Amino acid sequence: MSVGKIAVVGGGTMGATFVRALTSAGLAQTADFQVCEALPARAQTLRDELGLAVTDSLPEVVDKAELIYLSVKPQDLGSLADGLLDESQLVVSILAGIRLRQVQEQLSHSRVVRAMPNTPAQVGRGYTVWTADAGVSDEQRERARRALSAMGQELYVSDEAAIDRATAVSGSGPAYVFMMLEALTDAAVQIGVSRAEARRMVLETVIGAAEYAAASEAHPAELRDQVTSPAGTTAAGVRVLENRGLRAALIEAVAAAHARAQELGSP
């Protein structure tokens, strides 16, 4: 089942990811999209690489669209004109920290879904948490769910506060993992592994460990214990990570990201 005519407002990383995901999943075709992009160079890239219709005119783009995907930076919300939409149109906003109410007020439109996707959506392995205003119809919710599922797994939540929590964990989480990948790769190189081999070794280890943990019923601490023999090599490494506060650093990072998401949504 197709998602219908779609307007993408903000053709950056996340906007382009949405287009790619929907077309790869067969839920939409290139001709179903109209993209509003302010940056001329980016607009041209979207035309050249994805064959998309791109303009900087918001009224033109939203006209006749059933779903409007809002993917500008949070600070650019105020640059969007209001009064352009009617009740049949659904807005899906992915703006980090921006509340449903703020989008509704800016656009003078009640039918709004707020979603928090993440960048693994670029390879269909995203995790999107979303919620909807009470005024969004069942049919529109289904349309939103179908569209978001093209990027990977999706989870509907009724409490909007859960979106700020997801922002701190699944939204920002890939960045934490990328830092870990970078550090582990550098560490491998420092003990003599070639850069190419280190990259592959670290990626496969992280992907493998995550898939193993996902498939196992066991608690992560139990999985760690399985590979930590008394006075062994892993025990020596784990002791350093405990002493250097890896666990505390991650806990504080998530708390800081959560506080920042809440701050962004408090005008």
Ligand X SMILES: NC(=O)c1ccc[n+]([C@@H]2O[C@H](COP(=O)([O-])OP(=O)(O)OC[C@H]3O[C@@H](n4cnc5c(N)ncnc54)[C@H](OP(=O)(O)O)[C@@H]3O)[C@@H](O)[C@H]2O)c1
Interacting residue with ligand X among 110, 119, 153, 228 (CB under 6 A)? 119
DSSP-H helix ranges across 167-219: 173-190, 195-215
Compose the 124-143 pattern: x for residues touching ligand X by CB under 6 A, - for all others.
Answer: --------------------
- Residue 153 has phi, psi (to 5 degrees) of -80, 150
Q: Which part of the chain contacts ligand X (CB under 6 A), choosing from 90-98, 183-191, 227-235, 252-260?
A: 90-98
* Residue 117 touching ligand X (CB under 6 A): yes
Look up residue 235 and give its two tokens. Answer: 């025990």
Rounded CA-CA distance 87/110 in Å is 8
Please report how close the Cβ of residue 241 comes to ligand X at its closest, in angstroms: 26
Q: Are 122 and 19 spatial neighbours (Cβ–Cβ below 8 Å)?
A: no
Beta carbon nearer to ligand X, 15 or 152 = 15
Alpha-carbon Rg for the chain, nearest whole angstrom, is: 21
Please report how close the Cβ of residue 17 comes to ligand X at its closest, in angstroms: 8
Question: Which three-class secondary structure state does DSSP give residue 91?
Answer: strand
Q: Which part of the chain contacts ligand X (CB under 6 A), choosing from 115-123, 134-142, 154-162, 222-230?
A: 115-123
Q: Are 108 and 141 spatial neighbours (Cβ–Cβ below 8 Å)?
A: no
Rounded CA-CA distance 146/3 in Å is 7
* Residue 95 touching ligand X (CB under 6 A): yes
Interacting residue with ligand X among 64, 73, 101, 219 (CB under 6 A)? 73
* Residue 164 touching ligand X (CB under 6 A): no
Q: Which part of the chain contacts ligand X (CB under 6 A), choosing from 93-101, 183-191, 205-213, 222-230?
A: 93-101
* Residue 13 touching ligand X (CB under 6 A): yes
18 CB contacts (<8 Å, ≥6 apart)?
A: 8, 69, 71, 117, 121, 147, 150, 151
Q: Are 20 and 51 spatial neighbours (Cβ–Cβ below 8 Å)?
A: no
Beta carbon nearer to ligand X, 13 or 226 = 13
Q: Which part of the chain contacts ligand X (CB under 6 A), choosing from 88-96, 101-109, 131-139, 180-188?
A: 88-96
Would strands 67-70 and 126-132 be described as parallel, antiparallel, or unpaired?
unpaired
* Residue 171 touching ligand X (CB under 6 A): yes
Q: Which residues ranging from 21 to 60 are in contact with ligand X (CB under 6 A)?
A: 36-39, 42
Q: How many residues bind ligand X (CB under 6 A)?
A: 27
* Residue 10 touching ligand X (CB under 6 A): yes
* Residue 173 touching ligand X (CB under 6 A): no
Give the orientation angle of helix 40-50 with respect to helix 13-24, to 10 degrees.
Answer: 20
Q: Are 132 and 101 spatial neighbours (Cβ–Cβ below 8 Å)?
A: no
Residues of this chain that bind ligand X (CB under 6 A):
9-15, 36-39, 42, 71-74, 76, 79-80, 94-96, 116-119, 171
